[in-house]
Amino acid sequence: MECIRGLYNVRPRHWGAVATIGNFDGFHRGHRRLIASLRERASAFRAPTLVMLFEPQPQEYFRGGEFRPRLMRLSEKLRALRYAQVDTVLVLRFGARLAGLSASAFIEDILVKTLRVQALVIGDDFRFGAGRAGDFAMLKEAGGRLGFSVDPTPTFTEAGHRVSSTRLRLALSEGALEEAQRLMGTPYRYRGRVVHGDARGRLLGFPTANLLMREPAPLMGVFAVYVEWPDGRIGRGIANVGRRPTVGGKQVLLEVHVLDFTGDLYGQVLSVSFLTRLRAEQKFSSLEALQRQITADRASALAFFAHYEVAS
């Protein structure tokens, strides 16, 4: 997969793709269905697939500093799209210029003149351009005039409700990880590099691997998790996502205690899969009380894994 950053890096070899546009935050089952439709349509045209993303995401830009939790960093989206066998991803910086671009200019300047798309595969609720003035009907009319086809994607539902990043975000924030897994088709994962912490977990008898998280985090609390190393090894663990109020922590941190593991994890890139929430994060009266609770969390996690591994 090739990643293009900015329209100025588009070359003639990128012309003529079958494209789609979106945030793809969380890369849930609806996104997978869209990419499957994109690839099917591209095969009919004998053309490559292209996904257009924006950084920051448009809603992040318009909300200024009031970010809603992001489910994936850009690097993770690119990994997911590569795994889904997308040929090209075009990442456009979403700033004042793009936010002010009219819907008609977006079609003519970007889709037609720069990319020369053969077809678009897009949701029928897609809106674009300054003031969100552009819609599916406008794309369809412009395609008929300018020589590209526009195909809608059916809404993907689960339990009678539309699968969306908003619904996934709500499930994660409520600790409903089983629902989140149904929406994604896989457990929610966070991937990051282990950084140095204050070594307090080691003093308590539960050494942790610490990963910084973007704020606000999409989920908070204590979880049973799987931890995966780059070489494919998988271990069981307990993870805390939060600010560690007992020790006066301020920054959101993902702390993972890997069960039955001894060794140095500093600098390694780990993928953490969240399986179930054991409890909410809380402030304890002392480090001894915290230590007792972590011991109880470990027992709860082991009981969960005994069931989970038999069921899976």
Distance of CA 5 to the CA centre of its chain: 19
The domain segmentation of the chain, as residue ranges, is 2-161, 187-311
pLDDT surpasses 70 at 139: yes
Whether the per-residue pLDDT at 159 is higher than 70: the answer is yes
pTM score, whole prediction: 0.92
- The mean pLDDT of 97-126, rounded to a whole number, is 96
**How many other CB atoms are there within 10 angstroms of residue 39's CB atom?**
17
Fold designation for 187-311: Elongation Factor Tu (Ef-tu); domain 3 (2.40.30)
- As beta bridge partners, residue 21 has 52
Predicted confidence at residue 309, as pLDDT, reads: 66
Backbone phi, psi, residue 13, to 5°: -65, -15
Determine contact, residues 208/201, Cβ cutoff 8 Å: yes
Tell the burial category of 186 from Cβ atoms under 10 Å away from its Cβ (0-12, 13-18, 19+). middle
**Lowest-confidence region among 25-34, 131-140, 151-160, 171-180:** 151-160
- Count of Cβ atoms closer than 10 Å to residue 237 Cβ: 26
Supply the pLDDT for residue 92. 98
**42: enclosing H helix or E strand:** helix 29-45
CATH class of 2-161: alpha beta
Q: Which residue has the higher pLDDT, 200 or 289?
A: 289
Residue 239 CA: distances (Å) to CA of 49, 114, 200, 272: 38, 46, 15, 9
Q: What is the pLDDT of residue 279?
A: 96
> How would you list the strands of the sheet with 188-193, edge to edge?
188-193, 269-279, 221-228, 234-242, 253-258, 209-212
